[in-house]
């Protein structure tokens, strides 16, 4: 039986809007909010067709694609239940087609580009725990239950359970494979049908193991099988994966799927970089204790074109790179796979990053904003997830468990800043043959403006706010008041990279949730000056993100 959160009452919905996409200001003054019409909200997303050259796929792989897309569609349906509740009831009561479309883009009535503020009259704030927990539940109630029912702790803290109320109003954990049984079984069967027609044995094995994982919520064997796949051109990432949607504890994994086709030529260019991980870990600018773990070296780094997004990764701002699995034990034992989503990345560079640079980057530094640097920064961000520390120094818990709701923002901030550290080191060693390090620095600064616009509801958005404010305090860039453009100051920039690296890795290693909260509270905000510059981007009609035209018809299947 599917467990559903009751739909919000939207019978009397109107199209009038609440506060739009400005976040709260700094401690000195609030940023001025902008009010957008529903049409303007839709226009924040630039449309992009998800296609690729399928000629390199075998006949069996092409036959498998519709089955993989079918499985992905079930992840989409499950994510609706995790993010909001009853999708069909909400969409049916939308007052017009434009509002209905914006509900679909956000997987609910809360604007993911405006700090999850409701955009419909009569809708309250989004619950911190989304629909993973009962409406109105608090941490205090959950902790009180666990004090009296210690045997429930493992199930309640699992990434793969919903917390629900029983018939007496008490709390109970329900495994995903039971809560979403109908969609889980349909998705698993679709994966098995795909396995029946593809040729590579490693892909067949992974698809069958992933189908079993969906049915049991036991993912480690399929994660290991996914890491062992090296030569397949067709790929799928599917299941409950990231925990961004759970802002109550940061524990519950949300369902999503990507259907992917490998770009062999670009992948060959990238493969060599994973061998540098151990040396880069040893060189981190932090005390030895915070770099004592050895990253797995059985990692690979490849480029893909995405042909289908579903669920969590398709909500609001779109993912352009993947670093998985998230299981810390698997990472330490075998490493991870880093997937660069080249077609989606190119879409964001052309439609968003280049226009942003034309408005906010000093004219004589704009030549440093390049696609190769954007691709490289994104790639090394994903590689950098494997650096640093996964378990607290006292060995009691993982960093993710220790930092709870702040873990995602700190981890994304770590990956961004260590990615820059890696770029600088590899340029120094002559291991990056093209471009220059200033390309990566200036492109990185332009990228902050791009990601800050995602708002505080996004872990990536919060991470970029922290970095912007930290860099501003350290003089890493300057702003020309005459032109309103920003310039990278190389030496202070590099010092700021090292300083922020030390601060984040120390907080993670210490498992210091209070320090993480202070960092997010002090720096994870958009002040009025930055908000005014972000408003200039909106006035220039520059999209905030992209939205996909996708599916079998788009692919010609």
Q: Which of 280-289, 338-347, 386-395 has the highest mean pLDDT?
A: 338-347
At residue 296, the pLDDT reads 58
pLDDT band at 295 (very low <50, low <70, confident <90, very high): low
At residue 434, the pLDDT reads 86
Spatial separation of the C-alpha atoms in residues 23 and 39, rounded to whole Å? 20
pLDDT band at 446 (very low <50, low <70, confident <90, very high): very high
Spatial separation of the C-alpha atoms in residues 84 and 126, rounded to whole Å? 9
What percent of the chain is modeled with pLDDT above 90? Answer: 67
Spatial separation of the C-alpha atoms in residues 454 and 465, rounded to whole Å? 10
Closest alpha carbon to 229 in 386, 304, 337, 308: 337
| pLDDT tens profile 473-524 | 999 999 999 999 999 999 999 999 999 999 999 999 999 999 999 998 889 8
| 444: CATH | 3.30.540.30
Least confident window among 25-34, 70-79, 276-285, 402-411: 25-34
Indicate the number of domains in the chain: 1
| pLDDT tens profile 90-106 | 999 999 999 999 999 99
At residue 14, the pLDDT reads 32
Mean pLDDT, residues 397-401 taken together: 89
Q: What is the DSSP string of 421-488?
A: HHHHHHHHTT---SS-HHHHHHHHHHHHHHHHTT-TTSHHHHHHHHHHHHHHHTTSEEEETTTTEEEE
For the cut 70, the answer to whether the pLDDT of residue 285 exceeds it is yes
List beta partners, residue 117: 111
Phi, psi of 341 (to 5 degrees): -95, 85
Residue 506 lies in a domain: yes
Number of C-alpha atoms within 13 angstroms, CB side, residue 169?
A: 2
At residue 23, the pLDDT reads 33
Q: What is the pTM of this model?
A: 0.81
For the cut 70, the answer to whether the pLDDT of residue 143 exceeds it is yes
Residue 432 lies in a domain: yes
For the cut 60, the answer to whether the pLDDT of residue 216 exceeds it is yes
Spatial separation of the C-alpha atoms in residues 541 and 543, rounded to whole Å? 6
Residue 68 lies in a domain: no
pLDDT band at 272 (very low <50, low <70, confident <90, very high): confident
What percent of the chain is modeled with pLDDT above 70? Answer: 92
Q: Domain range holding 280? A: 181-555
For the cut 60, the answer to whether the pLDDT of residue 253 exceeds it is yes
Residue 53 lies in a domain: no
| pLDDT tens profile 489-502 | 999 999 999 999 99
For the cut 50, the answer to whether the pLDDT of residue 25 exceeds it is no
Contact 403, 513 (CB under 8 A): yes
Residue 275 lies in a domain: yes
| pLDDT tens profile 315-358 | 998 999 888 999 988 887 887 888 999 999 999 999 999 999 99
Residue 43 lies in a domain: no
Contact 179, 3 (CB under 8 A): yes
Helix (H) and strand (E) counts in the chain: 24, 13
At residue 524, the pLDDT reads 85
For the cut 80, the answer to whether the pLDDT of residue 16 exceeds it is no
Residue 165 lies in a domain: no
Residue 22 lies in a domain: no
Give the mean pLDDT of the chain.
89
Higher-pLDDT residue of 378, 223:
223
At residue 2, the pLDDT reads 35
Which run of H or of E encompasses 146? helix 139-148
């Amino acid at each position: 039986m599917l467990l559903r959160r009751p739909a919000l009452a939207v019978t009397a919905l109107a199209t009038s809007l609440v506060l739009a996409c400005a976040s709260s200001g700094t401690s000195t003054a609030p940023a001025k909010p902008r009010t957008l019409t529903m049409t303007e909200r839709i226009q924040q997303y630039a449309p992009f067709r998800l296609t690729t050259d399928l000629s390199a796929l075998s006949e069996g792989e092409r036959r498998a694609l519709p089955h993989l897309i079918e499985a992905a569609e079930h992840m989409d349906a499950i994510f609706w239940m995790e993010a909001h509740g009853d999708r069909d009831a909400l969409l049916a009561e939308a007052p017009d087609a434009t509002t209905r479309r914006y509900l679909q883009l956000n997987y609910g009535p809360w604007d993911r580009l405006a700090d999850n503020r409701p955009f419909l009259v009569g809708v309250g704030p989004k619950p911190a725990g989304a629909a993973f927990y009962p409406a109105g539940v608090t941490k205090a109630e959950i902790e009180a239950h666990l004090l009296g029912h210690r045997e429930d702790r493992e199930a309640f803290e699992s990434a793969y359970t919903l917390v629900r109320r029983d018939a007496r109003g008490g709390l109970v954990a329900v495994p995903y494979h039971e809560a979403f049984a109908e969609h889980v079984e349909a998705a698993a069967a679709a994966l098995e049908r795909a396995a029946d027609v593809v040729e590579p044995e490693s892909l067949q094995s992974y698809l069958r193991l992933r189908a079993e994982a969906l049915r049991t919520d036991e993912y480690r064997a399929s994660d290991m099988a996914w890491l062992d796949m090296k030569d397949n051109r067709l790929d799928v990432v599917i299941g409950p994966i990231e925990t961004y949607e759970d802002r109550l504890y940061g524990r519950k994994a949300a369902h999503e799927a990507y259907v992917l086709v490998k770009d062999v030529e670009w992948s060959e260019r990238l493969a060599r970089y994973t061998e540098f991980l151990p040396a880069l870990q040893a060189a981190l600018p932090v005390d030895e204790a915070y770099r004592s773990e050895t990253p797995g070296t059985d990692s690979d780094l490849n480029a893909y074109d995405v042909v289908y997004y579903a669920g969590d990764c398709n909500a609001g701002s779109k993912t352009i790179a993947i670093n998985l699995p998230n299981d810390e034990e698997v990472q330490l034992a075998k490493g991870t796979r880093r997937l660069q989503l080249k077609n989606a990345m190119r879409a964001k560079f052309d439609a968003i990053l280049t226009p942003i640079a034309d408005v906010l980057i000093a004219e004589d530094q704009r030549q440093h904003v390049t696609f190769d640097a954007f691709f490289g920064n994104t790639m090394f961000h994903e590689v950098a997830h494997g650096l640093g520390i996964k378990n607290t120094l006292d060995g009691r818990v993982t960093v993710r468990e220790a930092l709870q709701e702040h873990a995602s923002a700190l981890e994304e901030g770590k990956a961004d800043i260590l990615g820059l550290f890696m770029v600088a080191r590899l340029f120094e060693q002559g291991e990056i043959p093209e471009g220059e390090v200033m390309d990566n620095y200036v492109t990185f600064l332009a990228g902050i403006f791009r990601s800050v616009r995602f708002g505080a509801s996004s872990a990536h958005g919060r991470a970029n706010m922290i970095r912007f404010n930290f860099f501003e305090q350290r003089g890493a860039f300057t702003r020309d008041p005459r032109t309103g453009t920003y310039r990278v100051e190389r030496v202070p920039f590099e010092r700021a990279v090292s300083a922020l690296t030390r601060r984040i890795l120390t907080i993670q290693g210490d498992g210091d949730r209070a320090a993480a909260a202070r960092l997010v509270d002090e720096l994870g905000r958009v002040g009025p000056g930055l908000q005014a510059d972000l408003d200039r981007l909106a006035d220039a009609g520059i999209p905030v993100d992209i939205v996909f035209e996708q599916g079998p018809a788009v692919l010609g299947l």
